[in-house]
A and B are shown apart, each in its own frame.
Chain A
């Protein structure tokens, strides 16, 4: 997702300029990281408009807390963890805790679904199912795939130990399968049949 960015030292140099009073230099940070920040926000919200708002606010929060970056972690890891905290707080306000996946997908999943659904719709259901997992599992699975399945980076961003990340990923996949099966998702149904 964001590993194609240039030298991390560039970030450090830009941050030094901003901290020295060159506010305009922060635009370089924004331009470098706006797309990854937006995409991470979208993976939480699944709402383009909200994701953009969240990413903008995250940039502002990063600017406000620049002095607190201790440089023991990469700038990107620290920046994403600041953004992540903001996204989690925002999602607590936007997704009602009692929303059931079944309610959201009732229309899509009515009738002979397996024949109606195409691959893209299936993918969309899986992504929405992830967004509706309990927060600690949702955060882990979202960040893990956002970080291109790098457990160490995921652990750094979430402030967890790698072992905890692996355990949460395992549990998240189990929960996801249960949710998808409850919906009659073709992937889960197929698996059940093959087990008989």
Chain B
């Protein structure tokens, strides 16, 4: 038997002949039909009604998120460009605030405390103004 005959023989072994296809069709086309258990539709409809009456999920507040996000992105990008174009700019930024202030630890502590209070206040204000529902307590 030459190679092509052997390949043909191998192929025939994996091919289904007509009687096998018929057999397969008999088996797969004549499956016993199952009937749903009693209460199938009741269970589905209960889930459907729950779904229909459920409060829709809160949509992500893109309108509020995007302006702030884009502003921050712009600031970061701007800062990066500025630092690349003016490598010494970081020292000039510090010089805006008198350096002798930082030498006193008490002033340093006060500055940090003030920064924390202002930051927390700003956060609380933003949260109450932009996020809290109407009528909720606000600062």
Which residues does A use to contact B, with CB under 8 Å? Answer: 1, 23-24, 26-27, 30-31, 34-35, 38-39, 42-43, 48, 51-52, 55-56, 59-60, 63-64, 122-123, 126-127, 130, 141, 145, 148-149, 173-174, 176-178, 181, 187, 191-192, 195
Contacts and interface: CB of A to CB of B under 8 A. Distances in A.
Contact of A30 (B31, B35, B45, B51): B45
A56 B28 contact: no
Chain B interface size, as a band, is: 20 to 34
Interface of B: 9, 12-17, 20-21, 23-25, 27-29, 31, 33-37, 40-41, 43-45, 47-49, 51-52
Contact of A35 (B34, B44, B49, B51): B34
B51 A64 contact: yes
A98 B113 CA distance: 61
B15 A63 contact: no
Given A31-B41, A177-B20, A187-B23, A55 B48 contact: no
A191 B17 contact: yes
A39 B31 CA distance: 9
A170 to B, nearest CB: 9
Contact of A56 (B14, B27, B43, B52): B43
**Those 6 A-B pairs whose CB atoms lie nearest each other, nearest first:** A145-B28, A59-B44, A30-B41, A173-B16, A123-B27, A34-B36
